[in-house]
Homo-oligomer: A and B are copies of this chain.
């Protein structure tokens, strides 16, 4: 090792010179709070996007600087000596995806120093998730997972728990962020930069930028958090106080031997900026966010100038300046013992100025958004299966998917506001993560289908999976089922409930039968795969894999699977002939001629009625609950503004429509109907680039609408944002409901904000809200609910109407930094065309008050679809040793109002379990009640040793968190205190978990031994 570079830095403190004699200037940076003065809390920070204009790794190593000069490695490398140089200097770091990259590369010596700095509070890790997740296009389960990942890293390496939420850049702020990812992870405060410009103006006038935010109706004051919106609407220093290498703010020149000495001038600038901010801030404490995107590449440049400012400003004495952190700032505010204004609901939508509503990104890059959601559900299931088999120390594991998913929650990832090459990077990471998890899943299923749980897994079955099933591509099922071959389909259900659902797979034969695991023939349905699907399959397999497959499936085989909770069932497909296995012949209806009879669709209770005149959907009728309502469904597009008026185009961030245009087909649209025993399908080719399939299942009371939109034409030079509209006569009186990150439903009122008198300048874009689970409208009789399969934007622009934006293709950049038009294309060889997006939404009508059951239960099914695995066997094969499985007690099921949102084995063999009550207080007459989960029956084969309840991010004991969290006084709330229902402590013997409405409880469970396997 001789000659190799190794080093250890030891720092000691000593006084090196007497001030009077030496020319070396020592700055007094030790100042604390000074009561009675305006205290300027200087908070040194960097904002490091986990991908945006460059990929996360490019940002970390500092490559691709021609796009953006940014290198996080520089930040962290240079930070350490800068903090060591003065113990009063402080810094907050946020994004753990970067921090762990750096950490991994450090020597033990540097790690020790960093740990010392964290322990001393000089370096504070805040927010602490893997990324600073978005709050509009993210699902709460993903938010929890990515936060948990970061908090776990921090806890393990530094034994600390972040105290502060720091969502400084996301484009609007959600209720779930405030109460779940804020209060419930133990944060004492939440800070952010971006709120609506009108809101900010009023809050500045009223000194209400800082509030107590109660994001949850169900939890009320029990999950409140101190929330501060920054003074200037961003997270940057005041003008003239940027000190990055090569920044042109005037540095403090205090060397009297040099020209341009400017101390008094700079002190005056500082004092003026402090007064200006103090004028709109309650109390005499103001925070300056000393940093911005990817700053502190050479940290000393900032600290050098802040040292001087603190020294000279305090000598001046008009205001008091100090190194601070959001924690210290929060503690200071708390110590004032004042009452603060109350804020409820959320901060959506966000406009940073007139006509600039950041509501486009709710839908931008719908394919990525769909992929993220699909992976999220898969990750949940894969961890369950990883646990059932036992986490592998040597891999594969689900960790790489965890990492990719966590990164994808970044506010320039799933949002669609990144550059195209960065979007590709996110997709690549997800794909790599998926691939490894697919191995975990296959290995687990391969073992679980073996008989003896305790005998290990000697001859695991080789299972294949089909991630491209959505484009009708599944090599595992597209096998020639000639006599002698069997296709075994394993259907895994990650929900805590027994579940029945229709499985659809592409096959190449028509004479086939489906048997369940007992060998019983079951009903199946065979539909020809339409040309539109084959074309898309061919194009996208070429695009994704470089070549299109040699075989082409002919049919969709559908059958109903019935699967136990946290378990699987198997189905065997083989050649043979039954009545049901004959391919369904479509019926085509062409309009404009003699056709006049209405067309009724639906083999079960629900019927959709299409007009005999023009084939349009006209009526929805449910024979069970007698809901019968006229209904129209159509597509429109908004022309994306090109920005020629005022430089504000519609783009990746911003939705700026310039006209609403109905999408008319060429002539009337023929209906093609496939009727079958399990479901009916209605195919409509709306125009050359919109294809729609509506399915009505025999056993379901909702309509499933599959859309294929794209390539959106731009030959006319106009970008387009494609929207589906559902029109009814429901008298919703401007009110509609959208979910917050897939969890709480918030009431929205068109052209109205509760917090200020809205000046309406964008009557469409300004009424768009993010939708992750769904949206509904209601009147005194009926509820219309729409559920979605990914994050989208939507609204109710006229009474009775609900609309969802499905896809966007735009030709102009909207001027918020990404510097690309959102014009997604897909290329095969050198031929590129606009991206086609395929997805689904679900529609249902219920009598008033009865919609939530479907929204909640079926919402979970959408999030956690059946996981399918395939294996080909020969004729001799009869059955798996274990053809059906449930991890839980066979007689047990999780209550209808509870979901297992995390079941994951940790490195030490303990298990992380998260249970979520799915209903808000008062949401459902039956299910908005306290539920119980019996842990012993959830883990029937394990001996539970210890159950530790933790904070939501699992980084501290729940009781400890509750004890530490600051409580705040709310203005005017000294009146009646509401009663909040929460589940009680878990009795260590009974091991029954209570969950009150909307409660999520997180546990780390130790088992006595890992010997007992499933």
Interface set of A (CB-CB < 8 Å, partner B): 1-17, 19, 22-30, 55, 57-58, 60-66, 69-71, 73-74, 77-78, 81, 84-88, 101, 104-109, 245-248, 250-251, 253, 255, 257-260, 297-298, 300-301, 304, 307, 425, 428
Contact = CB atoms under 8 A, between A and B. Distances in A.
Contacts of A248: 64-66
7 contacts: A5-B29, A5-B87, A16-B108, A65-B247, A69-B246, A74-B298, A259-B425
B11 A7 contact: yes
The 8 A-B residue pairs whose C-beta atoms are closest, nearest first, are A69-B246, A3-B30, A298-B298, A5-B86, A66-B248, A65-B248, A57-B258, A24-B107
Contacts of A29: 5
A304 to B, nearest CB: 8
Contacts of A73: 304
Nearest to A19: B1
Contacts of A70: 246
Given A5-B85, A5-B86, A257-B104, A77 B15 contact: no
Q: Of residues A17, A24, A245, which shows the largest number of chain B Cβ atoms within 10 Å of its Cβ?
A: A245
Contacts of A307: 5
Contacts of A61: 251, 253, 255, 258, 260
Nearest to A85: B7
Given A245-B74, A246-B65, A300-B74, A57 B259 contact: yes
A11 B9 contact: yes
A105 B245 contact: no
Contact of A7 (B13, B19, B60, B300): B13
A104 to B, nearest CB: 5
Contacts of A106: 24
Given A1-B19, A7-B84, A57-B258, 20 more contacts: A1-B15, A1-B26, A5-B30, A5-B85, A6-B15, A7-B11, A8-B13, A10-B10, A17-B107, A24-B105, A24-B107, A62-B251, A62-B301, A66-B248, A71-B246, A73-B304, A74-B300, A101-B255, A104-B257, A259-B425
Give how many copies assemble into the complex: 2
Given A64-B248, A246-B297, A8 B3 contact: no
Q: Of residues A73, A246, A301, A428, which shows the largest number of chain B Cβ atoms within 10 Å of its Cβ?
A: A246
Contact of A6 (B8, B14, B257, B300): B14
A408 to B, nearest CB: 15
A80 to B, nearest CB: 9
Nearest to A6: B15
A782 B93 CA distance: 80
A255 B58 CA distance: 12
Contacts of A246: 62, 65, 69-71, 245-246, 297
A669 to B, nearest CB: 46
A68 to B, nearest CB: 9
Contacts of A304: 73, 77
A58 B248 CA distance: 11
A63 B250 contact: yes
A413 to B, nearest CB: 15
Given A12-B10, A16-B8, A3 B28 contact: yes
A252 to B, nearest CB: 9
Nearest to A250: B63
A260 B63 contact: yes
A29 B2 CA distance: 11
Contacts of A297: 245-246, 298
Nearest to A257: B104
Contacts of A58: 259-260
B6 A26 contact: yes
A16 B74 contact: no
B257 A22 contact: no
Nearest to A26: B4
Contacts of A55: 259-260
A71 B17 contact: no
A6 B11 CA distance: 11
Nearest to A101: B258
Given A1-B15, A86-B5, A253-B63, A301 B24 contact: no
Nearest to A63: B251
A247 B15 CA distance: 38
A861 B260 CA distance: 38
Nearest to A80: B81
Q: Of residues A5, A12, A28, A257, which shows the largest number of chain B Cβ atoms within 10 Å of its Cβ?
A: A5
A924 to B, nearest CB: 47
A9 B8 contact: no
Contacts of A24: 105-108
Nearest to A11: B9
A73 B105 CA distance: 28
A794 B2 CA distance: 60
Contacts of A108: 16-17, 22, 24
A300 B77 contact: yes
Contacts of A6: 13-16, 26
Nearest to A243: B62
A78 to B, nearest CB: 6
A865 to B, nearest CB: 30
Contacts of A25: 105
A16 B14 CA distance: 26
Nearest to A78: B298
A426 to B, nearest CB: 11
A10 B257 CA distance: 30
A265 B77 CA distance: 25
A492 to B, nearest CB: 31
A58 B251 CA distance: 10
Contacts of A19: 1
B28 A74 contact: no
Nearest to A432: B259
Contacts of A301: 62, 71, 74
A130 to B, nearest CB: 15
B16 A71 contact: no
A263 to B, nearest CB: 12
Q: Of residues A57, A63, A106, A109, which shows the largest number of chain B Cβ atoms within 10 Å of its Cβ?
A: A63
Contacts of A105: 23-25, 255
Contacts of A17: 107-108
Contacts of A85: 5, 7
A298 B245 CA distance: 8
Contacts of A12: 8, 10
A88 B16 contact: no
A224 B645 CA distance: 71
Contacts of A11: 7-10
A677 to B, nearest CB: 49
A432 to B, nearest CB: 10
A264 to B, nearest CB: 16
A108 B19 CA distance: 12
A11 B5 CA distance: 13
Nearest to A106: B24
